[in-house]
C-alpha cells in the first residue's frame, strides 16, 4: 500500500483524555460516569467521521500493534480498547501481535511491521530501553510510531505517546498511606512490596514515587520482589512473604490488581487479616472492575487507577496525522484514586512535575464498580 504519511509530525494539539467513573458523591460519580461515556463515544465518533472521509475510495490505513501480552485484566482492557477503535469499520486494517511479555519478540514484531510497510505502528513497550535502533529503522522507512501506556527512555523517534504518569501514581499511593496511617493512629509501618515487571516504566515510576514516601517518613520496607504483573506471581511472592515475615508486616503494596488478587489468596490461606478492619493495609494499582469489587468488599484499602482506554486517542492521533495536523508529543490519561472508606476526602502531594496538587479520593460504591473497565 502507498504510504499516506511521511515524516515530521511532532508537537502541539491533541485533546485530553477522559476520566471514567470519578466523583465525590454518588450522584456526582454517576454524572461523571455518564459524561465519560459520552465523551469517549464522541472522540471515537469524531475520528470515525474523519476516517470515512479519508477512506471514501475504499483504501484502508494499515496499523501494526505490538502489545505487551495478556498478563492482566488491565492489559485485556487496553487491547480491547485499541482493537475497537482501530477497526475496519473505522477504516483501519489492524495487524495485532501479542508479544507474551517477551521483549525480543516485541522488537521482532515491530521489525516485521516495518518490512510489511504498514502505515503506522503502535507499541506498548514491555521494557523502556533497547528501542533506539528499531525506532530509527521505522523513522527511516517513514512509518510514524505511536507509543501507548509504558514509555520508551532511549529514543524520541516516535510521534506521540498516550498513557499514565506512573510516578504520580506511586506518589499518590504514598501520600494516601501517610494520611491514612496518621488518621488511624498507625505509628509504625512495616511494608512488603510486590512490584511489576522489572525495567518496565510502570514498575520504575510506581516504585520511584512510593519510595519517596518511604524515605520521607522512615517507613520500614521489609522486602520487595517482582510479581511480574500477574496473579500467579503475586500469589507466589505473597506466599513466601507470609512464611518469612509472619506477624511482622502491616502493609502490602501490589503494583497492579492481578498481583493483589494473588496476594489476597495467599494471605487468606495463611490466615492473615487484611483490608478494612484487618491487620494489614492492602494497596493496589489499576482499578479494574474486579479490583474495585474488592475495594467495595473492603479487601483492598486503596486502588489507584491506571486508565487503559487509549484506543480512541490512538485513532484521533492517526486521523490528525492523516489530515496533516500536528499532535501533542505526550497525552496523559485522566485517572481517579479509589478508596474503601470515606474518612479521607482528598490527598495533597508534590507531583512529578514539581507542582503541589490536592486531589480527591473516590469512595467506591456499586455505581463506581459498574462503570469500571
Residues listed for the chain: 373
The CA-atom distances, in angstroms, between 244 and each of 144, 204, 247 are 49, 25, 9
How confident is the model over 228-233, as a mean pLDDT?
A: 98
The yes-or-no verdict on residue 28 having pLDDT over 70 is no
Q: Are residues 356 and 235 in the same domain?
A: yes
Q: Quick count: other Cβ atoms within 10 Å of Cβ 326?
A: 16
Q: Supply the pLDDT for residue 57.
A: 54
Asked if residue 250 lies in contact with residue 279, where contact means CB atoms within 8 angstroms, the answer is: yes
The yes-or-no verdict on residue 16 having pLDDT over 60 is no
Burial 175-190 (b: 16+ CB within 10 A, else e): bbbbbbbeeeeeeebe
Q: Are residues 41 and 101 in the same domain?
A: yes
For residue 252, what are the domain limits?
166-306+338-371
How confident is the model over 176-186, as a mean pLDDT?
A: 98
- Terminal-residue alpha carbon distance, the chain: 35
Q: Supply the pLDDT for residue 155.
A: 83
Confidence of residue 154 (pLDDT cuts 50, 70, 90): confident
Please name which of 310, 359, 309 lies closest in space to residue 339, comparing C-alpha atoms.
Answer: 359
Q: Are residues 195 and 246 in the same domain?
A: yes
Point out which residues pair with 359 in neighbouring strands.
347
Q: Are residues 343 and 326 in the same domain?
A: no
Dihedral (Cα; 113, 115, 117, 118), 10-degree rounding? 0
Percent of the chain with pLDDT over 70: 84
In a domain, 31, yes or no: yes
Asked if residue 337 lies in contact with residue 19, where contact means CB atoms within 8 angstroms, the answer is: no
Dihedral (Cα; 44, 163, 345, 298), 10-degree rounding? 90
Which CATH number is 235's domain given?
A: 3.40.50.2300
Confidence of residue 42 (pLDDT cuts 50, 70, 90): very low
Q: Are residues 171 and 184 in the same domain?
A: yes
Q: Supply the pLDDT for residue 36.
A: 41
Confidence of residue 253 (pLDDT cuts 50, 70, 90): very high
How confident is the model over 54-77, as a mean pLDDT?
A: 87
Half-sphere exposure of 320 (CA within 13 A, CB side): 23
Please name which of 171, 84, 164 lies closest in space to residue 124, comparing C-alpha atoms.
Answer: 164
How confident is the model over 138-148, as a mean pLDDT?
A: 98
Asked if residue 125 lies in contact with residue 150, where contact means CB atoms within 8 angstroms, the answer is: yes
How confident is the model over 211-238, as a mean pLDDT?
A: 99
The yes-or-no verdict on residue 325 having pLDDT over 70 is yes
The yes-or-no verdict on residue 11 having pLDDT over 90 is no
What's the domain count of the chain? 2
Q: Are residues 118 and 35 in the same domain?
A: yes
CA distance linking residue 219 with residue 178, whole number of Å: 10
Q: Are residues 208 and 148 in the same domain?
A: no
The yes-or-no verdict on residue 345 having pLDDT over 90 is yes
What is the H or E stretch that residue 247 is in?
none
CA distance linking residue 310 with residue 148, whole number of Å: 7
Q: Are residues 41 and 132 in the same domain?
A: yes
Q: Quick count: other Cβ atoms within 10 Å of Cβ 327?
A: 24
How confident is the model over 95-115, as a mean pLDDT?
A: 98
Q: Supply the pLDDT for residue 58.
A: 63
Q: Are residues 41 and 147 in the same domain?
A: yes
Percent of the chain with pLDDT over 90: 83
Q: Are residues 137 and 193 in the same domain?
A: no
Confidence of residue 37 (pLDDT cuts 50, 70, 90): very low
How confident is the model over 35-47, as a mean pLDDT?
A: 44
The yes-or-no verdict on residue 23 having pLDDT over 60 is no
The CA-atom distances, in angstroms, between 364 and each of 72, 179, 259 are 21, 18, 20
Q: Supply the pLDDT for residue 334.
A: 85
Q: Quick count: other Cβ atoms within 10 Å of Cβ 114?
A: 20
Average pLDDT, the chain: 88
Q: Are residues 147 and 285 in the same domain?
A: no
The CA-atom distances, in angstroms, between 317 and each of 63, 129, 179, 234 are 12, 24, 39, 36
The yes-or-no verdict on residue 43 having pLDDT over 60 is no
CA distance linking residue 169 with residue 229, whole number of Å: 16
Asked if residue 108 lies in contact with residue 83, where contact means CB atoms within 8 angstroms, the answer is: no
Amino acid at each position: 500500500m502507498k504510504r499516506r504519511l511521511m515524516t515530521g509530525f511532532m508537537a502541539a494539539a491533541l485533546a485530553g483524555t477522559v476520566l471514567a467513573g470519578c466523583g465525590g458523591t454518588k450522584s456526582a460519580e454517576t454524572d461523571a460516569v455518564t459524561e465519560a461515556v459520552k465523551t469517549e463515544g464522541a472522540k471515537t465518533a469524531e475520528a470515525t467521521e474523519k476516517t470515512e472521509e479519508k477512506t471514501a475510495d475504499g483504501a484502508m490505513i494499515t496499523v501494526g500493534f505490538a502489545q505487551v501480552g495478556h498478563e492482566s485484566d488491565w492489559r485485556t482492557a487496553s487491547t480491547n480498547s485499541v482493537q475497537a477503535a482501530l477497526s475496519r469499520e473505522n477504516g483501519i486494517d489492524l495487524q495485532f501481535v501479542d508479544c507474551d511479555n517477551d521483549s525480543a519478540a516485541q522488537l521482532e514484531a515491530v521489525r516485521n511491521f516495518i518490512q510489511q510497510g504498514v502505515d503506522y505502528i503502535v507499541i506498548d513497550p514491555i521494557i523502556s530501553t533497547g528501542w533506539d535502533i528499531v525506532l530509527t529503522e521505522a523513522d527511516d522507512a517513514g512509518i510514524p510510531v505511536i507509543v501507548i501506556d509504558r514509555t520508551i527512555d532511549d529514543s524520541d523517534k516516535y510521534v506521540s505517546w498516550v498513557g499514565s504518569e506512573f510516578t504520580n501514581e506511586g506518589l499518590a499511593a504514598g501520600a494516601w498511606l501517610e494520611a491514612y496511617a496518621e488518621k488511624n493512629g498507625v505509628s509504625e509501618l512495616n511494608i512488603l512490596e510486590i512490584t511489576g515487571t522489572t525495567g518496565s516504566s510502570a514498575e520504575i515510576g510506581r516504585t520511584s514515587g512510593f519510595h519517596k514516601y518511604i524515605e520521607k517518613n522512615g517507613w520500614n520496607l521489609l522486602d520487595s520482589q517482582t510479581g511480574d504483573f500477574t496473579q500467579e506471581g503475586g500469589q507466589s511472592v505473597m506466599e513466601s512473604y507470609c512464611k518469612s515475615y509472619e506477624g511482622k508486616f502491616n502493609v502490602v503494596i501490589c503494583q497492579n490488581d492481578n498481583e493483589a488478587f494473588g496476594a489476597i489468596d495467599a494471605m487468606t490461606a495463611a490466615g492473615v487479616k487484611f483490608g478494612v478492619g484487618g491487620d494489614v493495609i492492602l494497596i493496589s494499582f489499576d482499578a479494574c472492575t474486579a479490583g474495585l469489587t474488592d475495594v467495595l468488599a473492603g479487601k483492598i484499602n486503596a486502588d489507584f487507577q491506571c486508565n487503559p482506554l487509549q484506543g480512541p486517542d490512538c485513532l484521533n492521533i492517526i486521523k490528525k496525522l492523516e489530515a496533516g495536523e500536528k499532535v501533542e508529543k505526550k497525552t496523559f490519561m485522566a485517572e481517579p484514586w479509589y478508596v474503601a472508606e470515606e474518612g479521607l476526602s482528598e490527598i495533597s502531594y508534590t507531583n512529578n512535575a514539581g507542582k503541589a496538587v490536592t486531589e480527591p479520593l473516590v469512595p467506591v460504591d456499586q455505581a463506581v464498580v459498574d462503570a469500571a473497565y
